[in-house]
Amino acid sequence: MLDELRDAAPLLVDGAWTSLYYTACGAVAALVISFIFGLMSMSPSVWVRGTVRVVVEFFRGTSLVVQLLWIYYVLPELGIRFEPLAAATIALGLNFGAYGAEVVRGAVTSVPKAQWEATVALGFSKAHRMRRIILPQAIPEMVPPFGNLLIQMFKSSSLLFLIAVSELTFQVKELRVELGSIQAFSIALVVYFVLAQVLIMGMRYWEKRSAAKVGRGPKPVDVTMGEAMAVPTQ
Amino acid sequence: MTWRWDYTWDVLPDLLAAFFKYTLGVTLAAGVIAVLLGLVLALGRRSDNKIVSRTTFGIIEFVRSTPIPVQLFFVYFGGPAVGVSLSPLVTGISVLGIHYACYMAEVYRAGIDAIPQGQWEACTALSLSPQRTWRAVVLPQVIRRIVPSAGNQIIALFKETPFLIVVGVGEMVYVAQQFGSTTFRFIEPVTIAGLIFLAASYPTSVLMRKLEARLAQ
């Protein structure tokens, strides 16, 4: 067992890095999409709001697995072919970006009305108002739900073996014969658990820092998974 | 490549059959496990016995921070080595059920924490037994409160049933993929599968949002 484990270690480490790398790419894409869709969903134009609403509901309502298969199998039939990295980034970005858009919208609308009125009274331009007044106050509100989404995304990265990405689950599946099923998948579970805890700790730290930046004490917010999916922020 | 309607009508009945039989069936069965086991876990976490509460906490945290596909593989491929051979369907239902029970435990916990202190004090003042306190006073209020978030969990569970394709449960997305790999046309089956998901999950999530808004008043 130990010998096999020593041989398997490089593959496991490689797989874990790949999982983290794909999660990071997906997270950046999802963050950008969250802000674009989130801010667009507060546009004064009914058309913009309506379009964003439809897109967001579409990507939330169709399952991530279906979206992955769509990008991997259907788009090539239409003549559009993506590298696995691009396909994964697009799928994770759009799916989690749709959830994130709600987070952004919720946080921005939670900034007290007086703050908006003050910026109008002081004659700030729209862009200036967003960048200097509203967003700095909204971002600390976004960090905890974004943390939940990040953990969800990290866990979802284990589906990427379906589109031939050699992430941790893929590698463990390959090592199943040499290590034995129970051993191989126990290792995988433990590695995922440890990495998820590291991500949670990182998010807690970021949460405290971003709250401190706007002069708020660290709030006792429970960084847990699931809630981001569970409770849509109003 | 264009959309072919004749192929669409060919695949639609099989997709719908798989949807009603497996996708909804798995959601329902796993949902029942999640709702019941979730309450047990939530109560276990509140137990006065340190060993019980710590163990429950550890289990919840571990299950929640590990991915469902790996849990499926663990049970499906690892099970036989310790004498537990489950069919793909049973594996899928139990893994999803237990995974969501751990989420549900958090939902219950939030619901229990939201019960005003006065309710507990009133129960003590009326010298209700712990059992009656829970059954007649606390739980009815908790359940009312958590309906929207529990509903959202079930919707999330529903959208994660396609994860079961990794162990080969014949739910809708699996059937769609099978159609694609035999006919080399994925566009119709995969698109329809997505649209069926959307058609089922969107109205329910709107309903949950309405419920949530009503309860918030």
User: Looking at the 3D structure of chain B, how many domains does it have?
Assistant: 1
**DSSP helix, strand, coil percent of chain A (3-state; round to 5):** 80, 0, 20
For residue B179, what are its two tokens?
Answer: 């159609």
Average pLDDT over residues B40-59: 92
CATH of the domain at B49: 1.10.3720.10
SS3 label, residue A96:
helix
Tokens of B10: 């060919």
Domain hosting B194: range is 5-216
Q: How confident is the model at residue B51, as a pLDDT?
A: 92
> Which stretches within chain B are classed as H helix?
5-18, 24-46, 50-64, 68-78, 88-113, 117-125, 130-132, 139-160, 172-183, 187-216
Identify all chain A residues contacting B165, using CB atoms and an 8 Å cutoff.
Answer: 65, 162
Contact check, Cβ <8 Å, A189/B74? yes
Residue B79 has pLDDT above 70, yes or no: yes
Q: What is the pLDDT of residue A227?
A: 47
A–B interface: beta-carbon pairs under 8 A: 152
What residues contact residue A178 under an 8 Å CB cut-off, 6+ apart? A4, A7, A8
Q: How confident is the model at residue B1 (pLDDT cuts 50, 70, 90)?
A: low
Q: What percent of chain B has pLDDT over 90?
A: 34
* Portion of chain A with pLDDT greater than 70, in percent: 92
Q: Which fold does the domain A2-230 belong to in CATH?
A: MetI-like fold (1.10.3720)
- On whether the CB atoms of residues B3 and A74 are closer than 8 A, the answer is no
CA dist., res. A49 & res. A187, Å (int): 46
Chain B partners within 8 Å of A58 (Cβ): 198
Q: Residue A41, exposed/middle/buried by CB under 10 A (0-12, 13-18, 19+)? A: buried
Distance, CA of A162 to CA of A72 (rounded, Å): 9
Q: A186 vs B68: CB contact, 8 Å cut-off? A: no
Give chain B's mean pLDDT.
Answer: 88
If pLDDT is split at 50, 70 and 90, which confidence band does B217 have? low
Q: Nearest CA to CA, how far is A209 from chain B (Å)?
A: 24
Which pLDDT score is estimated for B105? 92
Q: Is the pLDDT of residue A218 over 70?
A: no
Q: Tell if the CB–CB gap between B67 and A169 is shorter than 8 Å.
A: yes
Residues B114-152 pLDDT 10s: 888 999 999 999 998 988 998 888 988 888 888 888 888
Across the interface, do A162 and B159 touch by the CB < 8 Å criterion? Answer: no
pLDDT category at B34 given cuts 50, 70, 90 is very high
Res. A187: pLDDT tops 50: yes
Kindly determine whether residue A192 and residue B201, on different chains, have CB atoms separated by under 8 Å: no
**B81 contacts in chain A (CB < 8 Å):** 180-182
The mean pLDDT of A183-195, rounded to a whole number, is 92
Going by pLDDT thresholds of 50, 70 and 90, the confidence category of residue A228 is very low
Confidence of residue A225 (pLDDT cuts 50, 70, 90): very low
User: B191 vs A181: CB contact, 8 Å cut-off?
Assistant: no
- pLDDT value, residue A233: 43
Residue A230 pLDDT > 50, yes or no?
no
User: Is B157 an interface residue toward A (CB < 8 Å)?
Assistant: no
Contact A189 B106 (CB under 8 A): no
Task: Write out chain A residues lying below 8 Å of B197, CB-based.
Answer: 61-63, 66
Q: Give the range among A157-161, B56-60, B175-179 with minimum mean pLDDT.
A: B175-179
- Residue B2: helix, strand or coil by DSSP? coil
